[in-house]
Amino acid sequence: MPTTVDAYWGEHTVNSKPFASAEESERYLEWRANEYPLFRDFMRLDDQHDNECLLDYGCGPGDDVVWFLMYSRVRKVVGIDVSQKALGLASHRLTLHGVDPARVELIRSGDSLTRLPIPDGGVDYVHCGGVLHHTSDPVALLREFRRVLPPTGRGCVMVYNRNSLWFHLYTAYIRMVVQGDFDGLTVEAAFARNTDGEACPIARCYRPEEFVAMAETAGFVAEFVGGYLSRHELACWATHGRAAQGDQRLGPVHREFLTDLTWDERGYPMYRGKYAGIGGVYRLTRS
């Protein structure tokens, strides 16, 4: 049965304009890496995956599918998404890059279909970037990730990071205090409308300990790597960070978070020793 998640993401595909050439597709991948500092490193996009079968759950228009097929030694990539539109864009893109069809399989699923069409232990690695926080039952999907991995399998998941400038500065201060948006909403509810469109049905953010506990419930050992950043977050700090720290209109939890930030030699913010960007990345191994 289709859900509101299926309906929304069926129409709101990220990067929905078809690429005209392989070169244009590659330029976009480079732009994305520059737009999100630490992204490529945290998501381990440069791992080689020698002769492995990799699952990209929520593959969208194929950014990471293309990346792994072009730049790693992966044997096969299985891309799953709820959007037929996104899968069509991914298929077109793979054709532009001349990818051998035997190395890739694109499958349409659904938000309510938590049983993945993959046999037990059928993939060596699970990659899931920016998807579980939009799903109705993320724990069920984590359990499926564990099922389709062998005992030596591993994974990498990104979900929105509550310990981030996006949550505590952009949402709680710039949007809610300075601009006066989202009147009457909690910061969590405002955040959900301040990431992937105001009509996005589900958009959660997690404290690291919350997501680690979820992953453990599903049978994983999870390590929080940190939150990769967006250029937007860095710009928000440059324009509003100092003011927000001393503005009494901002709640004390948010002011305390901003005051407790430290900065690395590149000027990237850290909170309690972990980078404080929106892209909270977790490495998973089966327990």
What distance in Å separates the CA atoms of residue 176 and residue 249, rounded to the nearest whole number?
10
Q: Do 209 and 270 lie in a common domain?
A: no
Which positions ≥6 away from 274 have C-beta within 8 Å? 163, 208, 224, 225, 226, 227
What's the angle, vertex CA 247, arms to CA 241 and CA 248, rounded to 5? 145
- Give me the pLDDT at residue 53, please: 98
Q: Do 213 and 112 lie in a common domain?
A: yes
If phi over 0 gives left and psi between -120 and 50 gives alpha, with beta otherwise, what is residue 15? left
Q: Do 181 and 136 lie in a common domain?
A: no
What distance in Å separates the CA atoms of residue 80 and residue 88, rounded to the nearest whole number?
12
Q: What is the CATH number of the domain that holds 106?
A: 3.40.50.150
Query: How many independent structural domains does the chain possess?
Result: 2
Which positions ≥6 away from 283 have C-beta within 8 Å? 44, 154, 155, 156, 222, 223, 225
Q: Tens digit of pLDDT for each residue in 109-118? A: 999 988 999 9
**Residue 135: other Cβ atoms inside 10 A:** 23
Q: Do 189 and 222 lie in a common domain?
A: no
Burial label, 20 (beta-carbon count in 10 A; 0-12, 13-18, 19+):
exposed
**Residue 189: other Cβ atoms inside 10 A:** 13
Which residues of the chain are modeled with pLDDT < 50? none
**Look-up of token digits 């300075």:** 178
Q: Which of 121, 98, 266, 123 is nearest to 107 (CA)?
A: 123
Look at residue 155 and give its three-state secondary structure.
strand
- Give me the pLDDT at residue 15, please: 73
- Give me the pLDDT at residue 55, please: 98
Tell me, yes or no, if the pTM score tops 0.85. yes
- Give me the pLDDT at residue 14, please: 77
Q: Do 15 and 83 lie in a common domain?
A: yes
**Look-up of token digits 């979900």:** 159
Q: Do 204 and 266 lie in a common domain?
A: no
Q: Do 148 and 210 lie in a common domain?
A: yes
- Decide: 126 and 148 in contact? Cβ < 8 Å: yes
Domain that holds residue 188: 165-199+230-275
What distance in Å separates the CA atoms of residue 1 and residue 18, rounded to the nearest whole number?
29
Q: Do 100 and 12 lie in a common domain?
A: yes
Which positions ≥6 away from 7 have C-beta within 8 Å? none
- Give me the pLDDT at residue 1, please: 75
Q: Tens digit of pLDDT for each residue in 158-186? A: 999 999 999 999 999 999 999 999 999 99
DSSP label at residue 123: -
Q: Do 73 and 97 lie in a common domain?
A: yes
- Give me the pLDDT at residue 172, please: 98
Q: Do 107 and 175 lie in a common domain?
A: no
- Give me the pLDDT at residue 246, please: 96
Q: Do 133 and 220 lie in a common domain?
A: yes
What distance in Å separates the CA atoms of residue 163 and residue 206, rounded to the nearest whole number?
8
Q: Do 14 and 152 lie in a common domain?
A: yes
Question: Residue 180 carries which side chain, given as an amino acid letter?
Answer: G
